[in-house]
Amino acid sequence: MTRLLAAAHAAQERADPAFLVTVETALGSTPREAGARMLVTAQEVAGTIGGGRLEFDAIDQARAMIAAGETEAAIDVPLGPEIGQCCGGRVGLSFQRLDAALLAAIAADDERARARLPAVMIFGAGHTGRALATAMAPLPLAVGLVDSRPETLRGLPQAVRAVAAAMPEALVEDAPPGAAFVVMTHEHSLDFLIAAAALARGDAAYVGMIGSATKRERFRRHLAEERREADAARLTLPIGGAGLRDKRPEVIAALAAAEIATCLLKHQGETLP
């Protein structure tokens, strides 16, 4: 569930008036694309239509409409000096008062959007695996964290799907096409088994493994024994690139999250609510 949908549910439960502000048209250079939206109540804002003066003015208008008891509006905004933005484009915004029907529509849109999200399967819920799952949780990705030890999967962000599996390697086959696989379990032999299975699929968008040059060479030899040495060229090791030699889990997670998101989202438009 996105933060916007959660905020909409909360507003409806509290009978708190709210407006959904949607970018209906985006011409030229604009802060966000058509379809971007935010929910505005008298006290809170969830989601974004791009920030800056455009967003501030839209929030003010939504709150004025709440105070006036209005139900809907549409405006056309040129992004020029008159509003303090120099994007140069033009944005059409709609304002819809939240009701049960609109909430249902938001929920349906959210479900459809989540079904289209690229999948990321992280194997290993140690320090770095948990840090990576946490770093990727806010991104427009379907993130799963897999481990054979259920106790390591507690306390994860709501957006992360926790999977306890006695045989984690068996889950590779069930992943959707174009998924990313990130391998960092507590055993090198299990790492090799999972990474080899992911590479064997042939449709993985990304296969990464945490480790050193020595580990990479050992894995290459492992694949060579199976006459699959060519698969080693499709493995990313170390994850997160080699430009910054920092072994702190949070730093590795930040670098790896950027690397994986670039790989999975480079052919998509902006879809983060």
Of 15, 25, 20, 175, the residue nearest 107 (C-alpha): 20
pLDDT for res 269: 55
Q: How many other CB atoms are found less than 10 A from the CB of residue 60?
A: 11
CA angle 201, 160, 142 (to 5 degrees): 45
Q: How far apart are CA 133 and CA 153, in angstroms?
A: 11
Taken in order 161, 177, 131, 196, is the CA torsion positive or negative? positive
Q: Which domains does the chain have, with CATH numbers?
A: 3-114 (no CATH), 117-265 (3.40.50.720)
Q: Are 185 and 202 in contact (CB under 8 A)?
A: no
pLDDT digits (tens, 9 = 90+) for 164-175: 999 999 999 999
Average pLDDT over residues 243-264: 92
pLDDT for res 206: 96
User: What end-to-end distance do the CA atoms of the chain give, in Å?
Assistant: 11
Res. 224: pLDDT tops 60: yes
pLDDT for res 268: 65
pLDDT for res 202: 86
Average pLDDT over residues 239-248: 85
Query: Where does the pLDDT of residue 81 fall: very low under 50, low under 70, confident under 90, or very high at 90 and above?
Result: low
Res. 103: pLDDT tops 50: yes
Of 5, 21, 118, the residue nearest 66 (C-alpha): 21
Structure tokens belonging to residue 67: 């105070």
pLDDT digits (tens, 9 = 90+) for 123-154: 999 999 999 999 999 999 999 999 999 999 99
